[in-house]
Amino acid sequence: MLEISGLRKTFPNGVVALDGVDLVVPKGEIVGVIGRSGTGKSTLIRCVNRLEEPTAGTIHLEGEEITRMRGPQLRAARRRIGMIFQQFNLLTSRTAAENVALPLEIAGVGRAERRRRALELLDLVGLGDRGASHPSQLSGGQKQRVGIARALASEPALLLSDEATSALDAETTNSVLDLLRTINAELGLTVLLITHEMDVVRAACDRVALLDAGKVVEHGPLGEVVARPESRLAQGLLPQFGRVEVADHEHARELVLFDDADERLAAEVAAGARIEARSTERIGDRRVTRALVVSPSEVTV
Give me the domains of the chain, ranges plus CATH numbers.
2-234 (3.40.50.300), 240-296 (3.30.70)
For 4, residues 6+ apart whose C-beta sits below 8 A from its C-beta are 21, 22, 23, 24, 44, 48, 57, 58, 59, 60
pTM of the model: 0.84
Asked if residue 96 lies in contact with residue 146, where contact means CB atoms within 8 angstroms, the answer is yes
d(CA 168, CA 191): 20
pLDDT classification of 220: cutoffs 50, 70, 90: very high
- Total count of residues recorded for the chain: 301
% of the chain surpassing 90 pLDDT: 59
Q: Is the pLDDT of residue 37 over 90?
A: no
What is the Cα–Cα distance from 144 to 165, expressed in whole angstroms? 8
Nearest to 206 by CA among 26, 38, 85: 26
Distance CA 286, CA 136 (A): 42
User: What number is the average pLDDT over the span 150-173?
Assistant: 90
Cα 177–chain centre separation:
9
H or E element in which residue 170 lies: helix 170-187
pLDDT at 275 > cutoff 80: yes
CA distance 276 to 265: 11
Q: Is 209's pLDDT higher than 70?
A: yes
- Kindly report which listed range (64-78, 167-181, 283-297) carries the lowest average pLDDT score: 283-297
Segment 95-128, tens digit of pLDDT: 999 999 999 999 899 999 999 999 999 999 999 9
Lowest mean pLDDT among 136-150, 175-189, 207-221, 279-293: 279-293
What pLDDT is stored for residue 55 in this prediction? 96
- Asked if residue 4 lies in contact with residue 48, where contact means CB atoms within 8 angstroms, the answer is yes
Among the listed residues 249, 247, 225, the one whose alpha carbon sits nearest the alpha carbon of residue 236: 225
pLDDT for 295 equals: 85
What pLDDT score was predicted for residue 148? 94
